Amino acid sequence: MCIVGGGPAGLVLALLLVRHGIGVAVLEKHEDFLRDFRGDTVHPSTLDVMDELGLGDRIRELPHRQVDGLRVAFADGTYQMVDFTRLEVAHPYLMFLPQWDFLEMLAREAEAHPSFTLLRSHEVVDLVREEGAVQGVVARTAEGTVEVGARLTVAADGRDSIVRGKLGLRRREFGAPMDVLWFRVSRRPADGEGLDMHVGPGRLLLAIDRGEYWQIAYVIPKGGYERVVAAGLDGFRESVARLFPVLVDRVGEIGEWEDVKVLTVQLDRLRRWHAPGALLIGDAAHAMSPVGGVGVNLAVQDAVATARLLADPLRARQLDEDALARVQARRAFPTAGTQLMQRFVQRALVGRLLAADGPVTAPLAVKLLAKVPALQELPARLVGVGLRPERVGPTALGSAPG
């Protein structure tokens, strides 16, 4: 079989399937995994999966930060809204880990299996189709075009999936009131630590403690990037310093607009995740809102469910479209449920805060969460564990062949 895309969904799926002894080729358009500002959050549910795979210690050895809650600063004070330490799970925290380290670790682990092939710098540009079914892919490489045949093609090629486009699969789009500007500014220990949101008139800023630096998500009204640029870099720096005053002497580190990466927020999902010979998972099947930072984790959970449901039919060479439909049936509920929560937060909180034109005080729900700490377990559970967390199952647990 072949997997298009060596992101979290593609590489977790590949690792699980090669542990089942199934031959897998992953085609990745980039030469390496070095991309800045990707989903770097690893949630308790993903850490459970890593433990099950015997990779728990390896992942914790990679340079990372742990965050155990979320505080939000309004004009009338700072309120704790989420507390991961209340979760009765093996890892009651969010781990922030560069996605490239995570992906390199997965790729190295998979490469220990002879049935794994990682084809870097292979950009899939078309599908091979015979008798109405997908039978593999066509990829562009530095040496020319190659064809990779496969009984099953899994598209894990992200939110702009080429496979989805070629199959003409339709999405339900839900829209979002915001876009996000990502950048970094150096951090000093005296700044504080953890995860803080700062709310100002028409702007939100999420500061993520990444050790040496703050990773900043500056949330703006949808389509508002041109207006931010028109207001000038100095205006932008001032706005950042107003929202997060400890950065006032460092906002100059945002040297040019190239330092700021724009994430156009999308929230959508496919009506049908499969076609004869092809299945779509992760962002390719459902682009998530950044609310809760759940994109990586849902992608990993999709991969775990796919491997568990398809390994036997793949080995027995009895894979039909019903088996692919079972993956969608399994993952449709957590996807739709998570998106429903994201849409609620986008509408009830983010949209309203972004529409404010004066100082913003904490809404009642925020004050209630802060006053009754036990309630903070609910958002922690929805984000950290999610709906219907997946288990790897016994057959893929083993490590690399001896």
Instruction: Name the nearest CA neighbour of 314 among 86, 13, 109, 23.
Output: 23
Binding-residue pattern over the window 277 to 306 for ligand FAD, x denoting contact by CB under 6 A: -----xxx---x-x--xxxxx-x-------
Instruction: Name the nearest CA neighbour of 288 among 354, 335, 334.
Output: 335
- The interface with ligand FAD within residues 149-178 (CB under 6 A) comprises 156-158, 162
Binding-residue pattern over the window 252 to 271 for ligand FAD, x denoting contact by CB under 6 A: ---------x-x--------
Tell me how far, at minimum, the Cβ of 339 lies from ligand FAD, in Å.
12
- Asked whether position 27 contacts ligand FAD by CB under 6 A, the answer is yes
Tell me how far, at minimum, the Cβ of 43 lies from ligand FAD, in Å.
8
Instruction: Name the nearest CA neighbour of 360 among 58, 77, 151.
Output: 77
- Strand order of the sheet with strand 133-141? 123-130, 133-141, 144-149
Q: Which is nearer to ligand FAD, 82 or 370 (CB)?
A: 82
Letter for the amino acid at 313?
P
- The interface with ligand FAD within residues 123-142 (CB under 6 A) comprises 123-124
Instruction: Check residue 375 and report its DSSP letter.
Output: G
- Any alpha helices (H) in 285-320, and if so which ranges? 295-315
Tell me how far, at minimum, the Cβ of 2 lies from ligand FAD, in Å.
10
Stretches 39-47, 67-75, 144-152, 342-350: which one binds ligand FAD (CB under 6 A)? 39-47
Q: Which of 3, 18, 24, 41 binds ligand FAD (CB under 6 A)?
A: 41
CA-CA distance, 101 to 33, in Å (whole number)? 8
Stretches 28-36, 60-68, 69-77, 337-345: which one binds ligand FAD (CB under 6 A)? 28-36
- Asked whether position 389 contacts ligand FAD by CB under 6 A, the answer is no
- Asked whether position 185 contacts ligand FAD by CB under 6 A, the answer is no
Q: Binding residues for ligand FAD, how many (CB under 6 A)?
A: 36
Q: Looking at beta carbons, which pairs linking 58-64 to residues 24 or more positions away fall under 8 Å? A: 58/105, 58/109, 59/95, 59/97, 59/102, 59/105, 60/95, 62/97, 62/98, 62/101, 62/102, 62/105, 63/97, 63/98, 63/101, 63/211, 64/95, 64/96, 64/97
The residue ranges that bind ligand FAD (CB under 6 A) are 4-10, 27-30, 37-41, 123-124, 156-158, 162, 182, 261, 263, 282-284, 288, 290, 293-297, 299
